[in-house]
Structure 1
Amino acid sequence: MSVAKVGSVVLDCPDPRALAGFYAGLVGGTVEGEDDWVDLRVPGGPSLAFQAAPGHVPPKWPAADHSQQFHLDLTVEDLDAAEKEALALGAKPLDAEDRSRTFRVYADPAGHPFCLCAC
C-alpha cells in the first residue's frame, strides 16, 4: 500500500507556456492553463506542470556546485530521429561526445537537463 501517487512533475521556468509547448512537442499531450502555472496532460502518464519562477537560473550539467537536482528520462524508439525532433523544438545537446550509449543528454529551452533513452 502506498501513501501517495505522483500527481505531476513540476518544473520551474521563466515561461511556463513556452516550456509546456516544448515538452508537448516531445511527448504529446494537451497544454492547459495560462500565466504562472501551465499543465501538460500526458496520455498514460503523470502530468508535467510548469510554474513561473522569476529569476530562474538553470542548473549546469555536469557541475557538482550547480546541481541539476532532477532530470527527466524520455524513452524513444529511435535515438537519431528523436534527437532531430528535440533539436528542432529547441533542445540543446549537453553531452554529444559518446554516440554509442543508449542515452543522450540535452537541456530544454529553460535549461533543465533531460535524457532521450533508447527503449
Structure 2
Amino acid sequence: MIGTLQCVVLDCHYPAGLAHFYAALLGGEVDRPDPRWSLHEEWSTVHLPGGQVLGFQRVEDYRPPIWPDPAHPQQLHLDIEVEDISAVEQRVVELGAEVKDREAGWTVFVDPAGHPFCLIPRRAA
C-alpha cells in the first residue's frame, strides 16, 4: 500500500453550498475543523457519519459534466445506497438535485453544480 484515501474532492462554483447539499443528502458535519486542511471560501468539507470526507473546491471557470454527453464527461460520480428510491427522490430534488435518468434499479441525478450521482437500492445482506 502506498497511501490511504484522505477525501474525495469535487470541483464547483460554490463550495459551501455544495457541502450543505451533500450533508443534507448523506448526513455529516459541514466544515468541521480538521488539521489536514484550512477552511475558507475556496474550500469546504463534509465529514460523513461513516468517517469518509467529501471536499469541495472552487474552480473559477468550472464547467459541469452533462449527463450522458461524452463530450462533457462525468469524470466521477457517487453511488448512494438508500432503502427506497421513490421514498427519498422528492427530498433529493428539494435539496437542489435534478433527475436525469432512470435506469433499471437506480436513478441518476445531478447535484446543484452538475455532478452526476446515483441513488441505488440497498440490497439485503
The CA RMSD measured in Å over matched residues stands at 1.1
Distance in 2 (CA, whole Å) between partners of 1:111 and 1:65 is 14
Asked if structure 2 preserves the Cα contact closer than 8 Å seen for 1:17 and 1:34, the reply is no
Structure 2 residue runs without a partner (length 5+): 32-38
Percent of counterpart pairs with the same letter? 44
Write the letter of the residue equivalent to 1:77. E
Aligned to 2:95: 89
Deviations 1:36-69 (A, max 9, x none): 0101001214200000111211011111111111
Pick one of 47, 52, 61 that aligns with 1:46.
52
Alignment pair present for 1:106 and 2:109: yes
Greater helix share, 1 or 2? Answer: 1
**3-state SS of the aligned residue for 2:99?**
strand
Q: CA deviation at 1:82?
A: 1.9
1:23: which partner in 2?
22
AA in 2 matched with 1:60:
I
Deviation of the 1:84 alpha carbon: 1.4
Distance in 1, matches of 2:110 and 2:30, equals 20
State the secondary structure of the residue aligned to 2:8: strand
Aligned residues: 115
Residue equivalent to 1:58: 64
Report what 2:12 is aligned to: 13
Instruction: Quickly say closer, same or farther: Cα 1:115–1:26, change in 2 above 3 A.
Output: same
Runs of 4+ deviating beyond 2 Å: none
- Structure 1: runs of 5+ lacking an equivalent: none
Paired AA for residue 8 in structure 1 = C
The alignment partner of 2:40 has SS state of coil
Task: Output the TM-score relative to the length of structure 1.
Answer: 0.91
Q: TM-score, normalised by structure 2?
A: 0.87
Distance 1:89 1:36 in 2: 22
Secondary structure of the corresponding residue to residue 65 of structure 1: coil
